[in-house]
Amino acid sequence: MAQPDDKSNGARRAVTVAWLITSIYYFYQYVMRSAPSVMMPELSAALGLSAVGLTSLLGLFYYGYAPFSLVAGVAMDQLGPRRAVPLGAAVVAIGAFLFATGDPTLASIGRFLQGAGGVFALIGAAYLATTNFPASMAATLIGITQMFGMAGGSAGQFLVGPAISGGLGWSQFWVIMGVVGLVIAGLLPVLLPRSPAQPAPRAQANWARSAAVAIGAVFRNPQSILCGLISGLLFIPTTIFDMVWGVRFLQEAHDMPYGLAVLRSASVPFGWIIGCPLFGVISDRLGRRKPVIIAGAALLLVCLVLILYGPAGMFPPYTLGLVAGIASGAAMLPYTVIKEANRPEHSGTATGVVNFINFSFSALLGPVFSGLLTRVSAGGERELIHYQAAFQPLVYGVALAILLTFFLRETGRAARPAPALAA
C-alpha cells in the first residue's frame, strides 16, 4: 500500500510550501530594510534630519531586529511558526504605515517595529528548514532562505530607486509596503501548517522557564558566541557600508550619477543571491563548514580593499560589488554551525542567538561609522579619503572573522565519526 508514502509526501510538500511562503515574507522585509538607501535626500528633507541623524533613525531597524531575534527564536521553539510568524508580519506592516507619516517620532517607532517584526521572517524560515529537512541539506536551505532576503535587498535598491526617481513619492512607497504586509499577515496563518505536537498544559505554564533555560544553554556554548561574531563581522560591510552609505559613497567619492550609483550598489545584495545558496551547497557537498567560511571571508577581504583603495575602472562595472556580495554569502554558514553545535530542541533559539549577536553589530556600529565619517570630513563635503578613513575598520573586521573561524569547531558531517556498523 502506498498510502503512508503519500501521506509523508503530502506533509513534506506542505512544509516546503510553508518554508517558501516564509522566505517570501523575508524577501518583503528585506525590501523595506534596504529601500531607504535610495531615498536618503527625500527622507532627509521630509523628516528634517541631517544625513547623520537620518542614518541613526534608519539604524533603529537593527535595534528592533537584534533583541527580537531572541524573542523570535524562543517563540519558534515554544509556540511554533504558525502562531509567531504572522504576528511579526502584522508588526512590520504597522511599522511601514507609521514611517509613511513623515513625523520623526512616529517614523522612529515605525522603523523600530519594522526590525522587531521583520526578524520573525528569517528565524521562521530557518526553523522550518532545519527542523523539517535532512541535516545534509541544512546549509543549502539556509543559504537559499538568505537568497530570498538578498533578492529583496537588491529589489529595494534596483527597483525602488528608479521608481522614486520616476515620480513615486517616498511616503506612497511606505503605504504600499504597509498594505502588502497586511496581506502577508493574513495569508500566513492559512498557509503555514499546524505544529505536529502541542506542548502539555504544564509545559505551557512553564514556557518562560523553558525559554530562559534554552537561551542560557545556547549562550553558554562558546561556539554560539563565535558563530555570532563571525557572522556579524561578515555582514556589516553590506548592512552598514552598502545598504546605508553605498549610493552616497559612489556619488561623492567617485562622482557617479545617482541612477548608476543605485545600480552599482544593488550589485552587492544581488551577489548575495548567488553566494548564499552557492556556499551552502559547497559546504553540504564537502561536509565541512570552516574552510568554506574562510574562503568566502578571504575573498570578501580582497574585494573590500579594492573597493576602498583600488584605482577606479580597474575592473569591469559591477564586478567588485557582485563578487563582494557572492563572497558575503559565507556569512550564513555560522547559522548552520550554531544549530549543529547546540541541542536539536534549541534549534529556533540557536538561530535567534546568532541573529541577535550578528545584528547587534549593525545596531551598535551603524551610528559609530556615521559619526566617524562626519568627524573625518569635518562635517563638510565628503571625498574618497574620508570614506577610506571611516570604513577602514571593516577590513580589519573581516580579517578578524577569518582568525576567529580557526577556533570554530567543525560540525560538518565529514568531521563526525562514522556510525558503528551493526553486527
**In this predicted structure, what is the pLDDT of residue 305?**
95
pLDDT digits (tens, 9 = 90+) for 64-82: 988 898 888 888 877 888 8
For the stretch 379-388, pLDDT in tens is 788 899 999 9
pLDDT score of 200? 47
Range of lowest pLDDT (2-16, 169-183, 246-260):
2-16
Whether the CB-CB separation of 42 and 106 falls below 8 Å is answered with: no
Residue 205: pLDDT over 70 = no
Residue 27 in this model has a pLDDT that exceeds 90: yes
Tens of pLDDT, residues 342-373 = 988 888 888 889 989 988 888 888 888 888 99
pLDDT at 409: 93
Give residue-wise pLDDT tens across range 82-99. 888 999 999 999 999 999
State how far the Cα of 231 lies from the Cα of 397, in Å rounded to an integer: 11
Return the pLDDT at 196. 54
Say whether pLDDT at 55 is over 90: no
Instruction: Tell me the mean pLDDT in the region 35-47.
Output: 86
Q: What is the band of 11 on the pLDDT scale with cuts at 50, 70, 90?
A: low
Q: What is the mean pLDDT of residues 182-202?
A: 71
Q: What is the pLDDT of residues 99-144, one digit of tens each?
A: 999 899 999 999 999 999 999 998 888 888 777 777 777 778 888 8
pTM: 0.80
Give yes or no for residue 44 having a pLDDT over 70: yes
Q: Residue 9: its pLDDT value, please?
A: 67
Task: Give the count of alpha carbons within 13 A of 99, CB side only.
Answer: 33
Q: What is the pLDDT of residue 76?
A: 85
In this prediction, residue 103 carries a pLDDT of: 92
Mean pLDDT, the chain, rounded, equals 85
